[in-house]
Amino acid sequence: MRVWVFHNSGTKSMDAAHALSKKLQAAGFQVSPARPEVVITVGGDGTLLSAFHRYNASLDSIRFVGVHTGHLGFYTDWRDYELDELVTALKADNGQRIGYPLLDVKVTYADDSTGHYVALNEATLKRVTGTMKTDVMISGNFFESFRGDGLCISTPTGSTGYAKSAGGAVLHPRLEALQMTEIASINNRVYRTLSSPIIIAPDEWVTLKPVPGINYTMTVDQFSMSDRPVKAISYRIASERIYFAKYRHMHFWDRVEDAFIGAKK
């Protein structure tokens, strides 16, 4: 099996990654960044996010495993003191995996050129220096004219991040759905929005058509773009999926409880 260990720049993560690489090589694994079958990230959820975007052209042939060097994250099943157990699990691997939906983002710029992105967590359209104004279309039909700071479109796995902070619901990652959450919407006698998170069905899509001539900031996960005027952005469930090697994948609601409540401690 070809395995690659992807880590962040933290000292603890680098030490754990080096130790894990040595253990994998001693166990007979080929440790290489070229065409890996399993990518093991060492760090946190942000590290896994970076690895996802590095290998997003080969998602169908890669399974991810997360090792956390801090608090347990939503994408990490192993701790840095469990490296021997992880190597043992990899040696018994039979290709088992669990897949979660991703967000497909297609942008049409003002000059009619296009861009295509895939997000693991969420994508947003915002205006930092003033009110964002955009028409919202659902499956090609006009839904509302939004006024406010911005809109966040999230995947189920991303629903515990920015979307939750903006008042969105927490979705189980097995749901094939997207969520649109308003960011500080304006609601008065002139401007009205639903002012509630919206769950989008698997066969539907959301299109934003912002007022032209204004600079907007578009984000896709941790990447931010504001240098090109946007004509329209469409969001839907991607044809690609992210796959995790399922050795002892932690129950999703246990992750939520541990991250936000902590009553079991």
Q: How is residue 217 written in tokens?
A: 């900031």
What is the reported pLDDT for 228? 87
Known binder of ligand: residue 215?
Answer: no
Residues paired with 150 in a beta bridge: 126, 183
Q: What is the pLDDT of residue 71?
A: 67
Question: Is the CATH number of domain 2-96+246-261 3.40.50.10330?
Answer: yes
Q: Dihedral of CA 212/215/216/222: which sign?
A: positive
Q: Is 106 annotated as a binding residue?
A: no
Q: Is 262 annotated as a binding residue?
A: no
Letter string b/e over residues 129-139, b meaning 16 or more CB atoms within 10 A of that residue's CB: eebbbbebbbe
Q: What is the pLDDT of residues 39-54, one digit of tens each?
A: 999 999 999 999 999 9
Closest CA to 211 of 136, 143, 140: 136
Residue 104 is a catalytic residue: no
Q: Is 265 annotated as a binding residue?
A: no
The number of beta carbons lying within 10 Å of the beta carbon of residue 19 is 15
Tell me how long the chain is: 265
Rounded to the nearest integer, the mean pLDDT of the chain is 93
Q: Are 24 and 31 in contact (CB under 8 A)?
A: yes
Single out the residue of 182, 197, 194, 178 nearest to residue 125, CA to CA: 182
45 annotated among ligand-binding-site residues = yes
Q: Which of 225, 222, 80, 250 is nearest to 161 (CA)?
A: 222
CA distance 241 to 178: 14
Which SS3 state, helix, strand or coil, does residue 89 take?
helix
Single out the catalytic residue among 15, 45, 104, 221: 45
Ligand-binding site membership of 141 (annotated): no
- Name the CATH topology of 102-239: Tumour Suppressor Smad4 (2.60.200)
Per-residue pLDDT band at 137 (split at 50, 70, 90)? very high
Domain ranges across the chain: 2-96+246-261, 102-239
pLDDT score recorded for residue 128: 83
pTM (predicted TM-score): 0.92
What is the predicted pLDDT for the residue at 259?
Answer: 83
Q: List pLDDT tens digits, range 78-121.
A: 999 999 999 999 999 999 999 999 999 999 999 999 999 999 99
